[in-house]
Amino acid sequence: MKNGRKWIIPAFILLLAIVVVGILWIGKIGPFAPETPAAPEGEAFAVGVLQFVEHPALDASTEFFLKALADNGLVDGENLKVTVLNPSADSGAMQLMSDQLATGGNNLLLGVATPAVQALAAKTDEIPILGVAVTDYVGAGLIVSNEAPGINISGTTDMNPIDRQIDLLLQLVPDAKTVGICYASNEVNSQIQADIAKAELEKRGVAVEIKMASAIGDVQQTIESLMGKVDAMYIPTDNLMASAAAVLTDITVANKVPVIVGEGNQVQGGGLATVGLNYEKMGYQTGMMALRILKDGANPAEMPIEASAEVDFYVNTTTAELLGITIPQEILDAAVIFE
């Protein structure tokens, strides 16, 4: 009887160990485990893209971001799962979509335009987030500093050479006494650019009229309210105004008001000219940053915000002809021409 008792305690301990291991197994990989989405079979990474709205500059940013990944071995449907969502500038849809991407098992998130990055940032402080088509990360409350973001966010900035754009405006419209600036009231990046443009114009002795639109339906009335009051207009890289490019062009050309815009796609849409960034290049540059995070384990909190070292001239010769403006040959020789 005494010998039998010697086996009771070890047997009980063994049974207890088996139960504990079983519980841990169930909790880790069984039906009670936390639900962690995985990339489909054969796909090494998952990337979620939130593009604020559809227009050529943002479309190019997304397309060439993904091209950079593909050119470097991460191909959607092969070893990469890509989810691209577009809320069409609807704030409610953007919140739902950003939540979907933040909880969708993605290894990295891309916000295309400032509002998209802000929406993603509100959903996660753990998943790496990159931004493209963002003017001022610090001003938008996204990071601590451009040199050391200090949080899970980095990316590229599309801050324009606004001083050179104003110089171009006055070169093409040398007699301009008053310049109108128009942008969306809810876009921080546009506010920043408009303030810089205003300061540059006033420094050169030119008066400024500023108007803001709150929605796509307000753009026509807002632009029309400036006609007869301004000799030219400056439009920053504003998503609302880019989406309403046809309306802007129709009104300003009919009133013989030249428009200098923030980037090349706006020139293609009917703006007169600009010296600015190439969003294909910016998207590709952001994709290269993503590769450093996905493949090399780089920490976005320690990755400085990157700017493009290259700018290009863009001219719409059809718009120039309709306005009766002669573009100097030295600009045409250096420019990307839209007809």
Q: Which domains does the chain have, with CATH numbers?
A: 45-157+279-307 (3.40.50.2300), 162-276+312-338 (3.40.50.2300)
Tokens of 202: 């006033």
Q: With the C-alpha atoms ordered 91, 97, 99, 101, is the resulting torsion angle positive or negative?
A: negative
Q: Which amino acid is at 219?
A: V
- Compute CA 215 distance to the chain's CA centroid, rounded to the nearest angstrom: 19
- Single out the residue of 207, 210, 174, 204 nearest to residue 190, CA to CA: 210
Query: pTM for this structure?
Result: 0.76
Query: pLDDT per position in the chain (339 positions), as tens?
Result: 444 444 444 444 445 444 444 433 333 333 333 233 344 455 689 999 999 999 999 999 999 999 999 999 999 999 999 999 999 999 999 999 999 999 999 999 999 999 999 999 999 999 999 999 999 999 999 999 999 999 999 999 999 899 999 999 999 999 999 999 999 998 888 999 999 999 999 999 999 999 999 999 999 999 999 999 999 999 999 889 999 999 999 999 999 999 999 989 899 999 999 998 889 999 999 999 999 999 999 999 999 999 987 889 999 999 999 999 999 999 999 999 999
Q: Report the relative pairing of strands 153-157 and 129-134 from DSSP bridges.
A: parallel
Q: Element (H or E) spanning 89, and its range?
A: none
Mean pLDDT of the chain: 89
- Compute CA 247 distance to the chain's CA centroid, rounded to the nearest angstrom: 23
* 287-332 confidence digits (pLDDT tens): 999 999 999 999 999 999 999 878 899 999 999 999 999 999 999 9
3-state secondary structure of 284: helix
pLDDT of residue 9: 47
- Single out the residue of 287, 281, 227 nearest to residue 258, CA to CA: 227
Running DSSP on this structure, what letter comes out for residue 189?
H
**CA–CA separation, 328 and 248 (whole Å):** 24
Phi and psi at residue 227, to the nearest 5° = -65, 135
Evaluate whether 291 touches 279 at the Cβ level (below 8 Å). no
pLDDT of residue 235: 96
3-state secondary structure of 51: strand
Q: With the C-alpha atoms ordered 274, 277, 279, 280, is the resulting torsion angle positive or negative?
A: positive
